[in-house]
Amino acid sequence: MAVTLPLLAGALALGMPDASADAGHGSRDALQGTKPAWATASADQGAASDSTKVSVRVHLAGRDAKGLAAYAAAVSDPDSSSYGKFLSPAQAQARFGATPEQIERVRQWLEAGGLTVTGANQHYVSATGDVAAAEKAFSTQLRNYRKGGRTYRAPSTTASVPAGLGDAVLAVSGLDNAPHTARHDDVLPPPDAVFRNSGPFSSYFGSKTASSLPKAYGSKAPYAVKGYTGKQLRAAYGAGDYTGKGVTVAITDAYASPTIAKDAAAYAKRNGDAAYKRGQLSQVLPKEYTKTEECGASGWYGEETLDVEAVHAVAPAADIVYVGGASCYDNDLLDSLNKVVDHHLADIVSNSWGDVEANQTPDLALAYDHVFQMGAIEGIGFYFSSGDAGDNVDSTGTKQIDVPSNSAWVTSVGGTALAVGKHDKYLWETGWGTLNAPLAKNGRSWEGFPGAYTSGAGGGTSSTVKQPFYQRGIVPDSLARANGKTRMRTAPDIAAVADPNTGFLVGQTQTLPDGSLGYDEYRIGGTSLAAPVIAGIQALAQQAQHGRPIGFANPAIYARYHSKAYHDVTDHPLGAHRDLAVVRVDYVNGVDAADGLRTTVRSLGKDASLAAVRGYDDVTGVGTPAAGYVSSYRRR
């Protein structure tokens, strides 16, 4: 519930401390991390103009930030006496949320410094003003710096707030104006133009062999599957008779597909999923959208479609609420996450978006963690895709993991290549990592076999987040200490199917070749698929434990390590010297055979510098859910 400003107009008259008097002088509390790592002396391009407009959010710490983190850990830890003792949103706000007095102090300080307050609620106070006013308020100088071929504004020194506000302010964002955006992690075609897969296909893994084509790794490879369905995924991951009844899953993305209800219903009918009941799929949307061109708004329609259809395919009786962000910028995505927590819209939240760790500033990391911790104490768990570019070296030149998947307070979901055989039997999985080699013109060999790296499940070791308690003794030091002597957070935590060569069939309204709109289906993958699949499985697990919320799941996930709950995924499930591949045939134009076909062989389990091995690894985490996973919650 937002705290409105008019109710607080007389607060100072009632004896509140006056922080405004210390707007630029006296003792101050530093806001660590407000100077970005890229704001270096060598990149300095001079002072920012005093008249340039600045928009900031002062994120609020609430009543007891340290106590919040401690309680979030305790209620999530199966070994704690407080395990499962969740609070209602009202109880959480009363115990840990920002007070009206804190909000008013921040508001008056900002206005005394020459900034104009544009909004205030229990999460932040937003304000605008010129550079000169921002420099005065935060006791720093704003300068211009070169970053990635462009120039952005940033503080030259660590920003600070008056000591009298130290208990109220968690972080400030907006002093630097580099883009803080998220991308949706998937292998999606533009949804405004139809995309189709060419055959031949396998209906299940290995059902159709490319017998007329060259061998790969010493044997004939099968054609890629047409796209797994819910029936196949439920069997592979041990759904049993559970359907997610009584559980609600939230999905957050930017924007919203205008045809989601129709598409989801058509997909369920065509592919054997249960029909949606009235009210089972709902949306919570902002009043207006912004930055639609910059963020590629239409590209997010397919993301929502994949997430909704994957959750329903795995947990057909679970309710789904889609919470759309006004844009792909962090502030708008944070607003969507806060809506879920403030109103407890769901116990399980699937999020298929993120960015690389180098692009996340500490202020935003703190803001995200605050949301995740508030969710944890209410029994809400957040699941984030780990990324689709492996170690990110190929895409960024630097080995790093993705955010917010790097947070110690979320479940990072990695990806696999999945083989489901005849009669929906689970065969094996490898880590998702793809090498691509095209068929030679003479049809007798694969050019440059095994080919170039294209994509793979994100994973690795954080440079900014220390190792959380639940990973101790499970994550090998070779990974935890990959960046130095200190043990750090390693991702992912768990995994599911992601490889688009063994992907999921999705149905969506697209623009057909004649310009009309029409429903079509195609195979898709990415950890954008893995995250909603795991969210759906968690809905089954919550049903298994009589509807009691799982909450922040990582302590429980790691507590099941080395049990029959998981498939221990490796890149060589059929033997150390046996590599695996599938053959794909694609339309050159993505629609039909008018411009010809492209035939390639796609190697499986070849994820950049990452490898799926016995035990925990940084491609699949502890593994993928096995037949014993969902049922293990029944006994607790």
Q: What is the pLDDT of residues 172-206, one digit of tens each?
A: 999 999 988 887 665 433 456 889 999 999 999 99
Reported as a single tens digit per residue, the pLDDT across 5-57 is 222 222 222 233 344 434 444 699 999 889 998 999 999 999 999 999 999 99
> What CA–CA distance (Å, rounded) separates 553 from 462?
20
DSSP code at position 441: T
Predicted local confidence at residue 186, as pLDDT? 55
- The mean pLDDT value of the chain amounts to 93
Q: Assess if CATH 3.40.50.200 describes domain 184-632.
A: yes
Closest CA to 54 of 120, 118, 149: 118
In single-letter form, the type of residue at position 251 comes to I
pTM across the whole model = 0.93
Section 453-461 average pLDDT: 98
> What CA–CA distance (Å, rounded) separates 141 from 125?
21
Residue 488, H or E segment: strand 488-491
Closest CA to 189 of 514, 589, 534: 589
Residue appearing with tokens 């991308």: 183
Predicted local confidence at residue 515, as pLDDT? 85
Where do the structural domains in the chain lie, given as residue ranges?
Answer: 6-62+98-178, 184-632
136 burial type by CB count under 10 A (0-12 exposed, 13-18 middle, 19+ buried): middle
DSSP code at position 439: B
Reported as a single tens digit per residue, the pLDDT across 578-594 is 999 999 999 999 999 99
**Contact criterion met (CB below 8 Å) for 225 and 497:** no
Helix (H, G, I), strand (E, B) or coil at 535: helix
Number of residues assigned to the chain: 636
- Residue 338 CA neighbour count, 13 Å, CB half: 21
Cβ count near 431 (within 10 Å): 30
